[in-house]
Copies of this chain bind each other. A is one copy, B any other.
Amino acid sequence: MSQIQILSKNQKIVLKIIEQAKEPLKAYSILFNAQKKGIKAPPQIYRALDKLIQKGKIHKIESRNAFVACKNSKCEISKATAFSICEKCEKVTEINIPKITKVLFAFKDKSGMSCKKYNLELFGLCKKCA
């Protein structure tokens, strides 16, 4: 009931693994890492991932089926996520473009739908790879 986001045991294990990684992690790679902590099966990972996303602790990079820790207090519990992704080395950076957020939350499509949440993925080459 409280708004303080307390994490369960498995949620803590999964979050720690994701936070310590230098790149986005796939679910089965998290599972592999979590096995030394006693986690044995995919549902344990996917359930923790779902909750961590809901709680704004991590994000899913949809185009990569991979997960990163939130680096950005401005995500407003994952309602506005954006990432730049290097297509060569796959480096992912969480970004924040206030103008984009402003424009999108004001936008309505032809059928009158407005945006409550968005995910934006930018592709290019990072400095090292360019």
A75 within 8 A of B: no
Are B84 and A119 in touch, CB under 8 angstroms? Answer: no
Are A113 and B97 in touch, CB under 8 angstroms? Answer: no
Select one of B113, B117, B122 contacting A115, CB under 8 A. Answer: B122
A44 within 8 A of B: no
Q: For window 104-121 of chain A, which residues contact chain B by CB distance below 8 Å?
A: 104, 107, 109-121
Are A122 and B112 in touch, CB under 8 angstroms? Answer: no
Find chain B residues with CB under 8 A from A115 CB.
84, 122-124
A86 within 8 A of B: yes
Find chain B residues with CB under 8 A from A124 CB.
113-117
A19 to B115, CA, bound (A): 26
Given A62-B62, A100-B100, A115-B84, A107–B122 Cβ distance below 8 Å? Answer: yes
Are B127 and A111 in touch, CB under 8 angstroms? Answer: yes
In the A-B complex, list the 3 residue pairs whose CB atoms are closest, starting with the nearest.
A62-B62, A115-B122, A117-B123
Q: Which residues of A are interface residues toward B (Cβ below 8 A)?
A: 62-63, 84, 86-87, 91, 93, 95, 97, 99-100, 103-104, 107, 109-127, 130
